Structure 1
């Protein structure tokens, strides 16, 4: 059963994910449209072919249903009768002449060694096939034959056939259960072939008939096979890492020959080669790797064979660059060319990629091939470290081939007016050249007009955006001016109100603007229940908050500020011309104490996570102790100087970086975050220690506690119980209460500044010595906690299991919604983080339960009382944090006092 609030919420979010109304988002989408149009225009005019395939997009029907595949290209080993010939094996198609499908003469045998019947499709050229569809025969109710199981064989040249198998080695594909429904099956790994055979499997008592369709796109690389040394195994910290090409369809020994595999499957390896896109795969699955010790000459040689002579412009190689584990991309690529069966040409192309000693992310390296003509390429990739790993290789060539997605129908039957050997797929009618040129000119004019309209739309959108931002600045600045005594940084309070265009470095949980969320008054028209209980809505009573605040009651995220207002206060202008101007304003006034830290004194230790606009790294900072004494109060300084070894000892810090390719909005948001973080001074809030802003790669350096985040810390402990003995580390109940009290203290400090965290959870709390707790914000950027966030069509991410009902349904983020999240965090701590909140619910069920909280009819499900949590603490504090009426929830001051009494 689905509740109306959830249905409205889901439809609303899906619509917002596909439509964009805010100014910044419209600009981004429009800019992408311009790039796509320009890119398509260049391809159309220059007849250049984009060779790199994307399996997620390459899913076009190849023509069995639509008739693009001709009858003579569909053959079979046998047929039951002329009315069940191979040409009738087209999925979801019945022209009335035949009996509605292909049926073999001999019943398919379940025995692997028995006779094999097949339906063969000739695609006329190499294609990248990612999906197959099958259907049985019903013949207008006169038949009921279908294939319950089948196999697939494929060939690139028509002579050498390969049996397809999935990544687990299974060759049999589950087919149909009736004669009517179409069953689609993804091919993992995909197939690169010209000829495809469907081979039905059934017992002796069953007659089978099939109709089929293939989905994919033309294989524009033209790569027929590659040869390379077989991948090797690595031992990393006792872990076996297998770097072999597991789906290679050629012969495999010491050398892989005459086949294709993982290097052409369209799947790119992750930054960390120990992880894979494939669920349950072994470490190193996505990569093919070799160690320098096995190659005395210091390079790996790979040979690529193509279907014909081509004019090659470049080769793209996806490499791992995790140098902290002894892996780097190749140091040099030297490629030789051959146009026939003769010897290799003596003139080679050599390329030295730039060395990256900072980022360990995997990346594509483009090797220019200088428009060389060849049907085979042999490349030697020189080692740059102990290991070299590759996950994908793609070639780009220029020519006159037409990109064929098989979307243009062709007439059924035999082609006419073709000379022997001509391919109807690539047939060009030269008699209509003038008409074609006229059409091209018309298309170019239309595209130019579209580009002009898009650019004009962007200009107007930016103008409206600036006007609305000024209005919002004035209104919120007047309101926040009342709280100057509560803000320790009241001189910059103007900057904390502008949230309408911010893209937080934290990958913002929700876009907080009036166009991205419906106000309750709009929802009343759609959901009558809102009208009945409007007075009970948390925070929806009479409020002076402007509509642009979107229900957040004027309280900004604690890690956001307004760089535009910052500029205005420092320079008297809301515009800036360079990063240097922004940095000067950032370090002026009270910010002058936030000094620049030398980047060369940071030593990379570990990558903690990756967000939408940057990365978080664990680093050692030399000389940071003396630096801290100048910038932070004694209370914070004492907490940081707990490491042994004195002031010269390197300090572990978290370094948050902004990507070099980040846009202006992301850069502004990053500087806003520095602005706010530099003002926070509390022993239970992670402090900003220093910045690196004198170059384009912006960094902020914050504390990092030696015991990591609270979620991982508690999950590795058990409650101290004298009746049980275990080698696992223990923690006492009083320690748990102390942790909760410290989190409440930090949140009390944030609430005193009217700052909303919006993602309070154990994953966002760090643990130091003596169970010291500090609130941070790294959780969302870590792959470890991706399961804690609900993703909407790959765009918005929501920690729904920690969110209040009004945050999910109404988009309202207030101090009261942080109190709700604190109750869930308290529950996590009392369960020692052994399970996820509402672990028995799916994400959809969690949102449905939110609808019950809105109804308040006693059907909502609460998190159960943890075993070690006293009944009084559960009923008075936890359940109090989850009250439906936000005004009835305790404040953080009250929570802190109650926990202090429990601790005493």
Structure 2
């Protein structure tokens, strides 16, 4: 009896409800679980991450986990391919998104000024979110502290949501997010219909199309998406009066003209997320008879249980009594009698010239949640505690979509299904879990045993490594560092440990000192060494490990030199920038006397963006406010009044160890000795307190690689103003760029300095095409693809390195000449291609072996189209196998100067 009374009460509530009461989007604004961790870490993924501490799981709004946000590994400019993805496990109606920058304990400076949203309901088809006027870009944050909430107009219905941060230049961005909305209880995943038509009235043209439809339109049919019929906006009685501001008349409705159909009805199909039992369908229609618009006179609905089953031949038919006296819009409720289906096909019969629909909604119950979802299965839904609403004083259940007074909820303990006629509570069945307990205990015991075995193996391996290290320390220096023949055909790394204290050969390839301290070049005849070295003993095989995974061996003959662990040169300094190889410069010489550096006031530095980072420090792009107030710094150029100055700031983090601090001071000492118009200058340092900083020049046009790749070749230098396309740069200007780089390298070589990472990414561009050589290209994640990582120990720019650098670890002025030849090739290619772009990193290393053997199989960079033969011949000389045959920078400078006499190349390749 009580059940009967309850059913009658619910039925009365449905009948007495306001006819036009559809889904209210204003009450669907509840946080979905990023901030309160209802959404677990495994449901938050990303295209990449800068580090473990900036993974996707750290992207929760108002959270300070890790380094305070998700930060992508790659630059988002210009491709915008980096994204953060949230899996909600079920379909949700999303009305609001929130974003925030990186916190990092107050040290974060990265945020996204703009971003885009893409979403999917099935994980296969992705749609781009656009606002009602077609704009895809959403305005984001202005700082790292404030969270910015953006209304989604129109809202979106999705399970998966991706955030794509955007930038207008190469810069670091980080993101924290939250999603707001409520559960999409309709379960409608897509509807199919003909596109809306245009109504021509005496006073205006009314476009009645579905402007927010996110599916496909093919052959006069829209399918596979959702649009304005599910956006929660109810149209007015007069369809020419829209509720949304700034849109066109008729926006709130989708309209179809009877004359555009061969039949006298409109056919629509509705696909749902699961097999459902349907109570009713509600359609909000316009009834403005003065404009030829009237509600449908009859509807027929056919039912289909899945894509692969036939249509049920018995439809539900309902005829409507037309009220010719009341022109107001109305919601028509069509009882569906509990019919089961996953796909509905409804025919709406015209009663006048036009049919105008504003919203379509359904009341239904899921019959079988285990039935696979097509076209791909949904994993089991995540049942989470109700998220906290954005406003206080409202109960959580109002966040769900309510089309009537009936509410359908699901819980972990069972299902509570309320309908207009009955109330059923399905309780879980209790079962004996003693078997599960036994299995759990067994699994724990096995895991503990495995951990014990792993620990024993690690301790055993460490013991034997110590024994091998002691046995091999008795070998001579030549045994430890100059083994060139191998017992196998695989390039390997010698795993011999060095004795305590400073290594006797750690800088063997950075500098070679004579007995009186003078600098001399290393031997240029590797074959002579091959003839004098003893063979590798067979017993040493246990002390080797492979350079790469055994799946990708690098095959070289036994005579090819190899990496030895002591010979792997670490090019990257503590802040991530390249460290020069210089003669007779040690940490002791730095601390023996005061560094002649200008003290830079920290208060004049204004952070702009992070350029890169290393193990113990970072490189930031900063702006010096009012540089005219700092005359003691002696800037190398005149600053116009009121103009700021861009500088690069290398800072050492406060947690850096003593060795890192000494390396930082060594780098300061090196840079303080450089003074040339084409070398980036050290402007000052902040050594009074942590973090230690050094301030160097930065050029306003960024690095040469990005600068040239944005240009095209022209007869003369031209800006894009007044014409289409990218700016132009002339051949003469390209030669001028190369000549300036050569001038800077000529200066470095005169001091016996070896740059070791010369490339277009390490050259900066200023006003009037002024070029200066820098050293922090290695720290920038933008150029991670230009470096080859060796077992996590070092990164090497192998595509710019001479063969002796790759195979023997030798870095000399001659190897810088090789790198200059590659840089010259980049310049003449306008940095459109990566050197040896058709080769993998392993192929580049193998090619170095071919150069060493002079096998005639070696591959050299091809001649650029704009390069004349004499200039390409200069490149080939830079890539000579014998170091002594490579021209010095002085000769290269004179050769390039002679080419400057012509403003255009001669003998170009067609």
TM over 0.5: no
Higher RCO, Cα 8 Å, sep 6+: 1
Shorter-normalised TM range: 0.3 to 0.5
Larger radius of gyration between Structure 1 and Structure 2: 2
Task: Give the TM-score of the pair, scaled to structure 1.
Answer: 0.44
TM-score (norm 2): 0.44
